[in-house]
Amino acid sequence: MREIIIATKNKGKVRDFEQLFSNKDIRVKSLLDFPELPEVEETGTTFTENAIIKAEAISKKFKKIVIADDSGLSVDALSGQPGVYSARYAGPNKSDEENIQKLLKELEGVPQAERTGRFHCALALVIPNGETHIVEGTCEGLITDEPIGEHGFGYDPIFFVEALGKTMAELTSEQKNEISHRANALQKLVPLVDKLL
């Protein structure tokens, strides 16, 4: 059975990948299986660069196939911020709630029509012989004035998906998995994995 390491400690992301590969005779491991590993420093200026840095570092260490993702929210009225700093927008040890509050404060007075943005996901797949493959996915939306909904994580409560008339945090996990940036990227990853493996 082939083994793929997902370069994340996020249980939600690990679940997504386990579902994706459940019928492919692939065993999924994650960084949760290697608690002794030091954090890989994400020094890239784009989601793609960070995904590549993580995937290549872990693949080099274990000589295995590795998939890493870097994702976040880019808001047009803020020149693409928070971007690669999405998880630590309000500071290195801040919560989702604090990140949301900072973003809403920065958007005070910006009219609804100009509060456009997108979630972006870059996935890097590294084969131990040195090949690196990239797939990306996005999901367009509007930033609300206040958090709405109880599901999801991160910026989901303030990200309004116009096509569904709801924020990401109001969607079921099944609905979110049909339209999210990660779902879009994962759909492109499947044929790539099939071809390479």
Q: Catalytic residues, which ones?
A: 70
Contacts of 149 (CB under 8 A, 6+ apart): 156, 157, 166, 167, 168, 169, 170, 171
Strands (E), 102-179: 116-126, 132-143, 159-161, 166-167
Tokens representing 136?
A: 């990306």
Which residues does residue 143 pair with via DSSP β-bridges, in sequence order? 159
Helical (H) or strand (E) element with 27? strand 26-30
Contacts of 16 (CB under 8 A, 6+ apart): 177, 182, 186
Helix, strand, coil shares of the chain as percentages rounded to 5? 40, 25, 35
Tokens representing 167?
A: 């924020």
8 A C-beta contact, residue 42 and residue 68 = no
